[in-house]
A and B are shown apart, each in its own frame.
Chain A
Amino acid sequence: MTTPTLTTPQSLAGSPAAPAVSASVALPVKGPLLTRTGWSAFVVALIVVCAIAPALNLWVPESSALHMSTYAVALLGKIMCYAIAALAMDLIWGYTGILSLGHGVFFALGGYVMGMYLMRQIGLEGNYKSNLPDFMVFLDWKTLPWHWTFSDSFAATLFLIVAVPAVVAFVFGYFAFRSRIKGVYFSIITQAMTFAAMLLFFRNETGFGGNNGFTDFKRILDIPIATPSMRMTLFVMTGLTLLGFFLFAKWLVGSKFGRVLQAIRDAETRVMFSGYSPLGYKLTIWVISAVMCAVAGALYVPQVGIINPGEMSPANSIEIAIWAAVGGRASLIGPIVGAFIVNGAKSWLTVAYPEFWLYFLGALFIGVTLFLPNGVVGLVKKLRKGAEQ
């Protein structure tokens, strides 16, 4: 009988010392999902989102200095949505090396699916007191178009928030990755995709409210949407989603799957000649990233109260990339930090010096690219290392 033999050089050379030698090599042990400090920070974030923020907003009286204003809730909720989008961008750009300049499309698709449901929730309270959304009455449409069929069901909406961008991303990604479109060409095509989608959604005939999009939402799950407690609920939901996605992304990049992604980024041919088909890997992370972005969009729309084709403008997609770059690619906390820094600066600058915002954004991007290739998080790591030595 033949016994299976290891075809390693040692076993070929017949070296009897081979097993003893191998035992002496210390292989690294796989670390936990988060370090002790990491988990502590995670729990603190969880407490802030679920307990402290609601308490400061709902129970601390408005006269108190500790009161968290509705404006702050709305702003932070919005930025957390952006952070989810930046995290999604990081998975595809930072870890896989595929720069998408069309992630705004997925964000907007999630937003539009949610927006359709919110439009139906208005019911008969629209300006025209019709069963149909106002813009359809205005266009003199008598019935709902086919793609609005399931828009009155919340369950179907939740499903479609995931399914629609997943299908769009899959089809687009399949053809792009199968044709081995890479680098700047892929970025340009995604940019063209978001622009084309914007033009499509601008048209009244497509049934998405044209350039006005959807707004004037009244209720969600038959509960009035503008009450403080509803706003807080959406805020907490967004925070939990962000934290959940962060853990998921952490697990993903820590698995062998995540290392294959980084390997694709660094040396794709070696990956192929190691027996991996990059198509499946790229497609999987591309779809995951698109869905995360869409979920962010779906949480964003009820909080800001509007969705229109402007969300698909090329500049919006580029901004997502900038958040990830500023915070630091190839670390998961980086893009979240980046989204908070850039949008925090934006909400202040657009009020204080509205005409300078775009210049500032451009300068920031150039500055980060030139001087902080690993973003703010990379800088902090570097400083910490320097302090240790």
Chain B
Amino acid sequence: MTPDLFEEGARRVQQHAALEAGQTNTESGGRSASEGRIATPGEVDVTHGRILYLQDVSVSFDGFKAINKLSLDIAPGELRCIIGPNGAGKTTMMDIITGKTRPDEGTVFFGSTIDLLRHKEAEIAQLGIGRKFQKPTVFEQLTVFENLELALKTNKGVKSSMFFKLDSRQSDRLAEILVTIHLAGSVGRLAGNLSHGQKQWLEIGMLLMQDPKLLLLDEPVAGMTDEETARTAELFLTLKGKHSLMVVEHDMSFIRTISEIVTVLCDGSVLAQGTLDQVQADERVIEVYLGR
């Protein structure tokens, strides 16, 4: 036998093994989207082409229906923009997905197997959902470095935190993210001393450290300069594909730069969905935005 025959044989064995293991990724989930698959606990199953499902979710506060029969789904790798007037339920929806608020009814699934309503905030974060708040929330008394280090994806138990040491791969990763969020020059600064835009970036950086599969971003460019906004748009476009993103934003020009599909929320449910041009042409959307 010749060496190239060896290689050819090895290639075929690997190909077969990949098929067996269900590593073929098609929109429908390939061969692995069949019955009899084994659900791995904690692993997100996106073989059916959806990473997040919300179905008929409702929640009311003191009789006010903040979310009303909301159904929404997001594909893996998608960048979904959510717009809507104030009080449409955008933040409440994120609260429900991240476990902060319990819905009165409805189902929320992460992939096909994980019921998010059965998990607490910290568990949901560990499953791979990262969230950026409307108001930038960073640890003000800690340095930029320490903020990122805390967010790093690792064992987050008490004991492992006591004896935690950053290994070289993790520090490389941290350094890369510092460059990405343009804070490499402020490693040792207290997060509380950063500008508003920088805090936004730091929080996004903390999300990236968590390496989430799904990122929920609540008004990520609020308070940013035009240049910072443009950089954020670039960043989100590079994240798209590998991560799924859900972006709530009011800045229409920002949305125009990054959006593929836009969902319009109003009174706690989906009013319209489509490209930005489509929804902007929609009569009902115009009515909601321009007043009745």
Residues of A bordering B, CB below 8 Å: 1-2, 6-13, 18-19, 21-28, 30, 252, 255-257, 259-260, 262-263, 265-267, 269-278, 280-281, 284, 330
Known: A2-B23, A23-B175, A259-B150. A270 touches B139 (CB 8 A): yes
A1 to B13, CA, bound (A): 11
Taking the closest CB of chain B, its distance from the CB of A42, in whole angstroms, is: 22
Q: Which chain B residue has the least Cβ–Cβ distance from A263?
A: B139
A27 to B157, CA, bound (A): 24
A277 to B146, CA, bound (A): 18
A189 to B41, CA, bound (A): 39
Check if B176 sits within 8 Å of A26, measured CB to CB. Answer: no
In the complex, whether B276 has a CB less than 8 A from a CB of chain A is no
Check if A12 sits within 8 Å of B239, measured CB to CB. Answer: yes
Per-position binary interface string of chain B over residues 190-218, scored 1 when its CB falls under 8 Å from any chain A CB and 0 otherwise: 00000000000000001010110000000
A275 to B150, CA, bound (A): 10
Taking the closest CB of chain B, its distance from the CB of A283, in whole angstroms, is: 8
Check if B171 sits within 8 Å of A10, measured CB to CB. Answer: no
Known: A256-B164, A263-B150. A8 touches B177 (CB 8 A): yes
Per-position binary interface string of chain B over residues 165-184, scored 1 when its CB falls under 8 Å from any chain A CB and 0 otherwise: 11000011111111110001
- Stretch in contact with the other chain, from B29-37, B119-127, B262-270: B119-127
**CB-defined A-B contacts under 8 Å, sample of 6:** A8-B208, A9-B177, A25-B187, A252-B162, A259-B142, A272-B125
Taking the closest CB of chain B, its distance from the CB of A330, in whole angstroms, is: 8
User: Restricting to B225-259, which residues have a CB under 8 Å from any CB of A?
Assistant: 235, 238-239, 241-243
A23 to B172, CA, bound (A): 7
A180 to B171, CA, bound (A): 34
Residues of B bordering A, CB below 8 Å: 14, 23, 98, 100, 120-123, 125-126, 130-131, 133, 137-143, 145-146, 149-151, 153, 156-158, 161-166, 171-180, 184, 187-188, 206, 208, 210-211, 235, 238-239, 241-243
Q: Which chain B residue has the least Cβ–Cβ distance from A278?
A: B122
A1 to B175, CA, bound (A): 28
Taking the closest CB of chain B, its distance from the CB of A184, in whole angstroms, is: 21
A2 to B15, CA, bound (A): 11
Selected contact of B137 from candidates A265, A270, A280, CB within 8 Å: A270
Check if B172 sits within 8 Å of A19, measured CB to CB. Answer: yes
Q: With A10-B180, A272-B120 given, can you name 12 additional A-B contacts, CB distance below 8 Å? A: A6-B176, A7-B243, A12-B238, A25-B175, A27-B171, A27-B175, A28-B187, A263-B142, A267-B137, A274-B125, A275-B122, A276-B150
A330 to B141, CA, bound (A): 11
Taking the closest CB of chain A, its distance from the CB of B110, in whole angstroms, is: 14
Selected contact of B130 from candidates A257, A267, A273, CB within 8 Å: A273
Selected contact of B176 from candidates A10, A266, A277, A280, CB within 8 Å: A10
Check if A256 sits within 8 Å of B145, measured CB to CB. Answer: no
Selected contact of B206 from candidates A27, A28, A257, A274, CB within 8 Å: A274
Q: Which chain A residue has the least Cβ–Cβ distance from B132?
A: A273
Check if A9 sits within 8 Å of B241, measured CB to CB. Answer: no
A272 to B98, CA, bound (A): 10
A21 to B172, CA, bound (A): 10
Check if B173 sits within 8 Å of A6, measured CB to CB. Answer: yes
Taking the closest CB of chain A, its distance from the CB of B43, in whole angstroms, is: 15
